């Protein structure tokens, strides 16, 4: 995973129109200079690409009289309030959220009748008098709102009043995801990120319909979550980070704050406690977790594979049970990630024994285990997910091991390091990141199909994709943004959009259109030369 020393129908001509940056020209009396009004973003020119986008009819314009009309459900009201909060600063309009019936304005509707949309799908219908977003569940309604945001001019994202106009192209989008699991991981262990920094990243990833936030909460360099039964884990084990900084950790109240904020953006938080390796912060905090009973010093370097819990000690499993119990009680989501990668200091026999004991603990507390793909070298529990991070240099035997586990029922999440790892450098001149899996430019991160990527793995074993961001060289929000954007939207599209829509030449045009939006949001992204960014 972090081996530092080893080496369709919805676009067509619409995309060409957008790439050329054409504007509509208003009719004016003879002899007067023509006034131009920017054309609305062509329907469906968003990321991720929708399953179906059928343009037609007049554009809808948000104006000072626009209301956001919601039904009487709490979810619709909450999402309506969220949309209003996004658009009020830039438009300067009141955008009252109301449950009054009406056929005009922005209409958000939850309807259990339309089962074709699934749990996360939505329908967006735009015409002269209204935009209507319909979904079966809150997630679909929220994702429809993200599509609406991207159909508006980029200036809609600004925090000060802008000129407009605020046009949404006419037509109908019907959309739902290809995969249920569409994740992004943030390593808060190598460097600690405050609650506000995590929230900022949540807001950015949610724009692209990412629905899982994997938090890497423990590693050799830091333990980042308070555990009441083992308080020194956070107080001492969380006191430093890579390079020797002061580190930090989340209190239980702060962790709850992150979970609630993520939930409001339809993101499920998946906490990871990496074990039996990557455990120096825990070993330094409690001597009894070491086979020799001696606590090592805290570690602030970037080597991997040197630490291990003492697999044969009973206290190790008391520790694991306490940590999983408290973490499960704090985490409303389905999953707990138990790591399992790079356990080079644990014998294969001990590794198998450890994983066979730990997976039932996760189930005991009502959660489903996820492990890095080395879990397939043990005995994955029924229902467990294996997260594949292999890359071109991964041996055929290791890939076959994962594929065979998938054939036997283990479900997979794909995070190939030379495609999906957001901490890989773009090129030799990238000031941040690592390069052990090679350089990963934007096209390479996008140009692969999760359904066929891992030879031998059944297509129905693939649960989705995840874009991890390891933080050895990263400690600020601007670093996150520079390494994740523009690559994260592409991984999100691979997880959401039908395979038939995947086309780099079309995608890069849509991606270029996100640049002004990120500028408006104050993001520091990498301006890849592979993308035809609009000139200012």
Render pLDDT for 190-232 as a digit per residue (tens, 0 to 9). Answer: 999 999 999 999 999 999 999 999 999 999 999 999 999 999 9
| pLDDT(30) > 60 | no
Question: What's the rounded mean pLDDT across residues 159-174?
Answer: 97
Question: Which among 252, 245, 202, 257 is positioned nearest to 221, based on CA atoms?
Answer: 245
H/E element, 215: strand 212-219
Q: Which of 24-28, 308-312, 466-470 has the lowest mean pLDDT?
A: 24-28
Contact 369, 411 (CB under 8 A): no
Q: What is the mean pLDDT of the chain?
A: 93
Q: How confident is the model at residue 113 (pLDDT cuts 50, 70, 90)?
A: confident
The Cα–Cα gap between 487 and 247 comes to 28
pLDDT the model gives residue 447: 97
| pLDDT, tens digit (0-9, with 9 covering 90-100), for 73-94 | 999 999 999 999 999 999 999 9
Burial tier of 524 (Cβ tally within 10 Å: 0-12, 13-18, 19+): middle
Whether the pLDDT of residue 452 is over 90: the answer is yes
Output the pLDDT for position 22: 33
Average pLDDT value for residue range 483-487 = 98
- All residues at 6 or more sequence positions from 452 whose CB lies less than 8 Å from its CB, including other chains: 459
* Structure confidence at residue 16 (pLDDT): 33
Mean pLDDT for the stretch of residues 14-32 = 36
The pLDDT of residue 36 = 64
Nearest to 133 by CA among 63, 71, 56: 71
CA distance 241 to 220: 9
The model's pLDDT over 287-346, given as tens digits with 9 standing for 90+, comes to 999 999 999 999 999 999 999 999 999 999 999 999 999 999 999 999 999 999 999 999
Rounded CA-CA distance 295/285 in Å is 7
Give which of 294, 345, 293, 288 is closest to 317, Cα–Cα. 288
Would you call 130 exposed, middle or buried from its count of C-beta atoms within 10 A (0-12, 13-18, 19+)? middle
pLDDT at 27 over 90: no
pLDDT number for residue 38: 81
pLDDT tens, residue by residue, 33-85:
334 678 999 999 999 999 999 999 999 999 999 999 999 999 999 999 999 99
375 within 8 A of 412, measured Cβ to Cβ: no
Over range 158-187, report the average pLDDT.
Answer: 98
pLDDT > 90 fraction of the chain, expressed in percent and rounded: 91
Which backbone phi and psi does 127 adopt, to 5 degrees?
-150, -175
Report the pLDDT value the prediction gives residue 97, as an integer from 0 to 100.
98
Annotated active-site residue 349? The verdict is no
Question: Distance between CA 20 and CA 462 in Å, rounded?
Answer: 38
Cα separations (Å) of 352 from 306, 347, 377?
18, 9, 8
pLDDT at 2 over 60: no
Residues 6+ apart with CB under 8 A from 150: 41, 46, 47, 207, 514, 517
Number of helices (H), then strands (E), belonging to the chain: the values are 16, 20
DSSP state of 89: H
The residues with which 181 forms a beta bridge, in sequence order, are 464
Euclidean distance between CA atoms 221 and 275, whole angstroms: 13
Cβ-count burial of 54 within 10 angstroms (0-12 exposed, 13-18 middle, 19+ buried)?
middle
Euclidean distance between CA atoms 339 and 387, whole angstroms: 9
Choice among 157, 268, 342, 466 that is catalytic: 342
| CA dist., res. 366 & res. 98, Å (int) | 39
Alpha-carbon distance of 499 to 178, in angstroms, equals 8
């Amino acid at each position: 995973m972090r081996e530092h020393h080893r080496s369709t129908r919805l676009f067509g001509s619409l995309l060409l129109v957008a790439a050329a940056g054409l504007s509509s020209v208003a009719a004016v009396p003879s002899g007067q200079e023509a006034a131009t009004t920017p054309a609305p973003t062509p329907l469906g020119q968003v990321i991720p690409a929708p399953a179906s986008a059928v343009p037609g009819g007049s554009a809808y314009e948000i104006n000072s009289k626009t209301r956001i009309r919601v039904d009487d459900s709490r979810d619709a009201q909450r999402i309506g309030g969220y949309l209003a909060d996004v658009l009020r600063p830039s438009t300067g309009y009141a955008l009252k959220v109301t449950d009054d019936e009406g056929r005009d304005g922005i209409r958000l509707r939850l309807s259990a009748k339309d089962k074709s949309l699934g749990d996360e799908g939505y329908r967006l219908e735009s015409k002269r008098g209204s935009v209507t977003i319909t979904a079966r569940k809150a997630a679909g309604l929220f994702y429809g709102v993200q599509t609406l945001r991207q159909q508006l001019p980029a200036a809609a994202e600004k925090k000060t009043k802008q000129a407009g106009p605020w046009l949404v192209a006419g037509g109908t989008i019907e959309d739902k995801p290809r995969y249920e699991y569409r994740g992004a991981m943030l390593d808060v262990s190598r460097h600690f990120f405050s609650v506000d920094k995590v929230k900022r990243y949540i807001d950015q990833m949610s724009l692209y319909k990412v629905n899982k936030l994997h938090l890497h909460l423990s590693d050799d360099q830091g333990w980042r979550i308070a555990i009441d039964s083992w308080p020194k884990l956070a107080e001492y084990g969380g006191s430093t980070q890579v390079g020797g900084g002061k580190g930090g950790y989340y209190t239980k109240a702060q962790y709850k704050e992150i979970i609630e904020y993520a939930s409001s953006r339809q993101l499920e938080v998946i906490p990871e406690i990496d074990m039996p390796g990557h455990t120096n912060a825990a070993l330094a905090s409690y001597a009894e977790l070491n086979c020799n009973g001696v606590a090592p010093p805290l570690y602030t370097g970037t080597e991997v594979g040197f630490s291990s819990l003492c697999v044969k000690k009973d206290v190790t499993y008391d520790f694991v049970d306490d940590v999983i119990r408290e973490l499960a009680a704090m985490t409303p989501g389905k999953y707990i990630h138990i790591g399992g990668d790079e356990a080079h200091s644990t014998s294969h026999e001990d590794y198998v024994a450890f994983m066979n004991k730990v997976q039932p603990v996760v189930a005991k507390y009502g959660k489903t285990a996820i492990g890095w793909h080395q879990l397939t070298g043990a005995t994955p529990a029924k229902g467990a997910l294996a997260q594949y991070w292999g890359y071109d240099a991964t041996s055929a035997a290791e890939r076959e091991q994962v594929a065979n586990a998938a054939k036997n029922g283990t479900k997979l999440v794909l995070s190939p390091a030379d495609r999906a790892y957001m901490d890989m450098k773009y090129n030799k001149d990238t000031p941040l990141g690592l390069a052990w899996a090679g350089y990963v430019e934007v096209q390479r991160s996008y140009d692969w199909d999760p359904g066929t990527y891992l030879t031998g793995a059944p297509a129905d074993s693939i649960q989705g994709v995840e874009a991890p961001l390891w933080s050895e060289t990263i400690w600020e929000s601007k670093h996150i943004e520079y390494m994740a954007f523009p690559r994260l939207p592409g991984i999100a599209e691979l997880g959401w959009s039908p395979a038939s829509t995947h086309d780099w030449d079309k995608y890069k045009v849509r991606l270029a259109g996100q640049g002004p939006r990120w500028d408006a949001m104050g993001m520091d992204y990498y301006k890849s030369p592979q993308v035809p960014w609009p000139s200012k």
